[in-house]
């Protein structure tokens, strides 16, 4: 059998026909695809800035210069017609974006790749060079606005055109907030879209935006920190932004770091405020100026309460500062109310702890001035009424509250006038009393009432005293003679008292009359009294162990003023009795130590010890008389302090002198396996 063969020509024709048909179909499909692509509209979200705010619009059929193509201008900065014609074309498609830069040029971004582009379909009138921004300015943005907008905006720096597959309100709001970087727009987006396609990205972007803003304000505060008036408002803004960032993304590391930076600044202010509060408390205790410290602390507290009131250091500082400020202000307000109610003394008591702050707080100065004026005016009123007692009291209060030359002069004059008034009143009272005695024929008492007055008062009754003088001399002389006759010689206390009275009668009479006979009689009584006192002193001084030394000394003191003929004998007796009197009129202690050790090893130690104790007692401020070893007092002291030295040891002091060395010493930990095993 012969093999069967197909017709080669027929087969080739059939193949060519099939290929032609396939090619025709492919061309038709390609043409259909091209036509479909051209007919699809290009949607975009346009974010731009108006004269008042950022906004956006959505549009369809978007074109740039009536084309949906642009030319890639690369790095060219000077573009002429020839260069422009060689630029490759880029077809605009979603998703991508077109941004108008600050210099007016266009930047197209597709798949995270950005390039400089210029509009297509531009006509060059001259073959001169243009910048990409100048070429962009020659084009227009065309399209059909979606929504209430009626026209497409012009291309301006800052504009962002994002090409999308379909209109998307959520994405448009996100782009607007991202482009504007305004807190209000971010808040508006998150309020509208708490859970949407771009919410997570929005929260992260918004958080980092807030952190950056917070750090910028914090830096402004730190720059002003060393100035007299730091910019606490900047720190407050930084804190608000940092806390807002944390509220959006609580676990974000950047927001937590920003809060730590703000907290550190707040802690520093709180520490400064605490230091100011301590300085105020020290000034208050020392009664020195320091109210400014409290004002500073209160001002810092107000700033901190606005910045971060929940901060632990702020809370701790607030407790102390509020207490001190409240106490101070309560005292001031209480004093002001007391001044308004005419109770200046209560007002002064209220502010008495704070008087050292008078130069710093005008309110205290006003309270003090009001209190001073109140008492000064009251003193003047009393002086005008010749009520010098009250005038002195009021002027003295005014001077105590606020010293002034005016109050000093008024007080001195009031005291002088009061003394005059008191002298006059006392003199008048003495005259009335003297007249009463005179009416009873008691000339002695009538005269002595006037004669006993102080010099200033006696000068006011001199006429009355002089009138009674002659009768007093006669009566006093007779009374003294009668007393002397009954009580001379002196045998006891009764005689002593009567002879003293007779001496006074004769002394007053002689002072008034000056008769020599009166002087002789007075001096005779003085000799008898002095001799009696001397005898009593000798009798008491001679008692055993000086037991009467103090009484004897008192008799000698009574005898000395008479300056009698036995004056030298009185002085001798006083000299003889002084040593005994010193021992008996003081706490007297005999201090001695006995050394029972070898004298060779401790020579003089017991004496040194006794002398040291004696010196300590003498310098203690006590009324004590010390008898030291070797003293020989006339009588034994009241007490004895005796000690025995029973052991004597010589202390040797070792002095270590370090020497320089080139070696170094140290410690090294050596492991002990047994200990480690037990420890485990």
Which stretch of DSSP H or E encloses residue 650? none
Phi, psi angles (nearest 5°) of residue 100: -95, 115
3-state secondary structure of 248: helix
Residue 517 CA, chain-centre distance (Å), reads 82
Residue 544 is given by DSSP the state: G
| Residue that wins the pLDDT comparison between 95 and 607 | 95
- Nearest Cα to 503, choosing from 478, 516, 521? 521
3-state secondary structure of 250: coil
What are all long-range contacts of 214-221, with beta carbons under 8 Å and residues at least 24 apart? 214/238, 214/239, 214/241, 214/242, 214/245, 214/258, 214/262, 215/258, 215/261, 217/241, 218/258, 218/261, 218/262, 218/265, 221/265
Confidence of residue 612 (pLDDT cuts 50, 70, 90): confident
Task: For residues 300 and 232, give the distance between their C-alpha atoms in angstroms, rounded to a whole number.
Answer: 9
Confidence (pLDDT) at 534:
92
Residue 461 is given by DSSP the state: G
Task: For residues 177 and 202, give the distance between their C-alpha atoms in angstroms, rounded to a whole number.
Answer: 8
Q: How far is CA 354 from CA 149, 284, 320, 329, 483, in A?
A: 71, 7, 18, 11, 68
| Residue that wins the pLDDT comparison between 319 and 611 | 319
CB atoms near residue 297 (< 10 Å): 25
Q: Are 262 and 310 in contact (CB under 8 A)?
A: no
- What's the mean pLDDT in 462-476? 93
Summarised one tens digit per residue, pLDDT across range 238-285 is 999 999 999 999 989 999 999 999 999 999 999 999 999 999 999 999
Tokens of 649: 């040891």
Summarised one tens digit per residue, pLDDT across range 496-522 is 999 999 999 999 999 999 999 999 999
Neighbour-count burial of 336, counting CB atoms closer than 10 A to its CB (0-12 exposed, 13-18 middle, 19+ buried) = middle
- Nearest Cα to 317, choosing from 330, 329, 300? 300
Task: For residues 540 and 552, give the distance between their C-alpha atoms in angstroms, rounded to a whole number.
Answer: 5
Confidence of residue 590 (pLDDT cuts 50, 70, 90): confident
3-state secondary structure of 290: coil
**Residues forming a β-bridge with 57:** 46
CB atoms near residue 282 (< 10 Å): 12
Summarised one tens digit per residue, pLDDT across range 452-468 is 999 999 999 999 999 99
Residue 678 has pLDDT above 90, yes or no: no
Confidence (pLDDT) at 27:
47
Summarised one tens digit per residue, pLDDT across range 147-166 is 888 899 999 999 999 999 99
For the chain, the 3-state helix, strand and coil shares in percent, each to the nearest 5, are 60, 10, 25
Residue 36 has pLDDT above 50, yes or no: no
Residue 159 is given by DSSP the state: -
Which stretch of DSSP H or E encloses residue 643? strand 639-645
Task: For residues 119 and 398, give the distance between their C-alpha atoms in angstroms, rounded to a whole number.
Answer: 94
Average confidence score pLDDT of the chain:
87
Confidence (pLDDT) at 21:
45
Residue 14 has pLDDT above 80, yes or no: no
Confidence (pLDDT) at 6:
38
Tokens of 79: 């573009």
Q: Are 614 and 626 in contact (CB under 8 A)?
A: yes
Q: Which pTM was predicted? A: 0.63
Residue 339 has pLDDT above 80, yes or no: yes
Residue 108 is given by DSSP the state: E
Tokens of 261: 């930076």
- Nearest Cα to 581, choosing from 620, 540, 631? 540
Residue 521 CB partners (closer than 8 Å, separation 6+): 477, 480, 481, 506
| Residue that wins the pLDDT comparison between 48 and 35 | 48
Which stretch of DSSP H or E encloses residue 107? strand 106-110
**Cα end-to-end distance, the chain, whole Å:** 102
Q: Are 516 and 557 in contact (CB under 8 A)?
A: no
Confidence of residue 97 (pLDDT cuts 50, 70, 90): very high
Lowest mean pLDDT among 88-92, 189-193, 595-599: 595-599
3-state secondary structure of 649: coil
| Residue that wins the pLDDT comparison between 186 and 6 | 186
Q: Map 306-359 to HEC letters.
A: HHCCCCHHHHHHHHHHHHHHHHHHHHHHHHHHHHHCCCHHHHHHHHHHHHHHCC
CB contact burial 585-621 (16+ within 10 A = b; e otherwise): eeebbbbbbebeeeeeebeeebeebbbebbeebeeee
Confidence (pLDDT) at 600:
62
Measured over the CA atoms of residue 479, residue 481, residue 485 and residue 487, the dihedral's sign is positive
């Amino acid at each position: 059998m012969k093999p069967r063969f197909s017709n080669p020509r027929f087969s080739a024709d059939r193949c060519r026909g099939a290929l032609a048909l396939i090619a025709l179909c492919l061309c038709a499909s390609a043409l259909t695809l091209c036509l479909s692509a051209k007919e699809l509209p290009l949607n975009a979200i346009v974010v731009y800035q108006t004269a008042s705010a950022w906004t956006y619009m959505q549009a369809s059929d978007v074109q740039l210069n009536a084309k949906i193509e642009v030319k890639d201008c690369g790095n060219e900065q000077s573009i002429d017609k020839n260069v422009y014609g060689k630029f490759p074309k880029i077809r605009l498609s979603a998703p991508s974006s077109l941004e108008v830069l600050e210099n007016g040029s266009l930047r197209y971004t597709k798949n995270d790749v950005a390039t400089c582009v210029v509009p297509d379909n531009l006509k060059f009138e001259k073959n001169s060079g243009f910048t990409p921004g100048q070429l962009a300015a020659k084009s227009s943005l065309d399209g059909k606005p979606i929504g209430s907008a009626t026209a497409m905006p012009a291309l301006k720096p800052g504009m962002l055109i994002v090409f999308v597959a379909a209109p998307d309100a959520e994405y448009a709001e996100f782009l607007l907030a991202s482009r504007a970087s305004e807190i209000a727009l971010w808040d508006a987006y998150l309020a509208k879209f708490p859970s949407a396609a771009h919410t997570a990205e929005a929260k992260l972007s918004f958080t980092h935006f807030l952190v950056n803003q917070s750090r910028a304000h914090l830096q402004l505060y730190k720059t002003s920190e060393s100035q007299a008036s730091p910019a606490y408002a900047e720190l407050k803004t930084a804190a608000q932004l940092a806390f807002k960032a944390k509220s959006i993304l609580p676990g974000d590391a950047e927001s937590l770091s920003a809060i730590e930076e703000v907290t550190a600044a707040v802690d520093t202010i709180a520490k400064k405020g605490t230091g100011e509060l301590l300085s105020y408390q020290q000034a208050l205790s020392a009664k020195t100026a320091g109210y400014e410290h409290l004002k500073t602390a209160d001002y810092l507290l107000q700033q901190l309460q606005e910045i971060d009131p929940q901060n632990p250091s702020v809370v701790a500082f607030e407790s102390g500062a509020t207490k001190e400020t409240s106490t101070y202000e309560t005292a001031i307000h209480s004093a002001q109310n007391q001044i308004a109610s005419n109770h200046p003394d209560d007002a002064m008591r209220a502010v008495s702890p704070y008087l050292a702050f008078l130069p710093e707080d005008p309110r205290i100065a006003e309270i003090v001035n009001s209190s001073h004026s109140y008492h000064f005016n009251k003193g003047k009123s009393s002086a005008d009424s010749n009520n010098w007692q009250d005038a002195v009291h009021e002027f003295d209060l005014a001077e105590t509250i606020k010293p002034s030359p005016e109050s000093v002069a008024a007080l001195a004059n009031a005291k002088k006038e009061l003394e005059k008034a008191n002298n006059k009143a006392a003199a008048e009272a003495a005259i009335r009393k003297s007249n009463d005695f005179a009416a009873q024929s008691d000339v002695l008492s009538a005269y002595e009432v006037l004669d006993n007055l102080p010099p200033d008062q006696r000068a006011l009754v001199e006429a009355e005293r002089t009138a009674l003088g002659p009768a007093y001399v006669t009566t006093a002389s007779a009374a003294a003679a009668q007393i002397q006759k009954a009580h001379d010689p002196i045998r006891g206390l009764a005689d002593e008292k009567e002879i003293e009275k007779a001496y006074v009668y004769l002394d007053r009479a002689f002072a008034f009359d000056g008769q020599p006979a009166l002087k002789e009689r007075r001096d005779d009584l003085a000799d008898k009294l002095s001799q009696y006192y001397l005898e009593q002193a000798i009798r008491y001084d001679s008692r055993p162990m000086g037991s009467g030394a103090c009484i004897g000394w008192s008799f000698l003191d009574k005898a000395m003023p008479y300056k009698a003929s036995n004056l030298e004998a009185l002085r001798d007796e006083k000299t003889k009795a002084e040593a005994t009197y010193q021992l008996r009129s003081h706490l007297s202690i005999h201090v001695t130590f006995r050394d029972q050790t070898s004298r060779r090893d401790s020579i003089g130690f017991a004496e040194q010890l006794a002398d040291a104790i004696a010196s300590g007692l003498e310098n203690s401020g006590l009324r004590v008389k010390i008898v030291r070893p070797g003293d020989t007092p006339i009588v034994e002291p009241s007490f004895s302090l005796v000690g025995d030295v029973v052991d004597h040891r010589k202390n040797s002091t070792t002095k270590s002198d370090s020497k320089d060395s080139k070696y170094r010493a140290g410690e090294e930990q050596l492991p002990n396996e047994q200990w480690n095993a037990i420890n485990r």
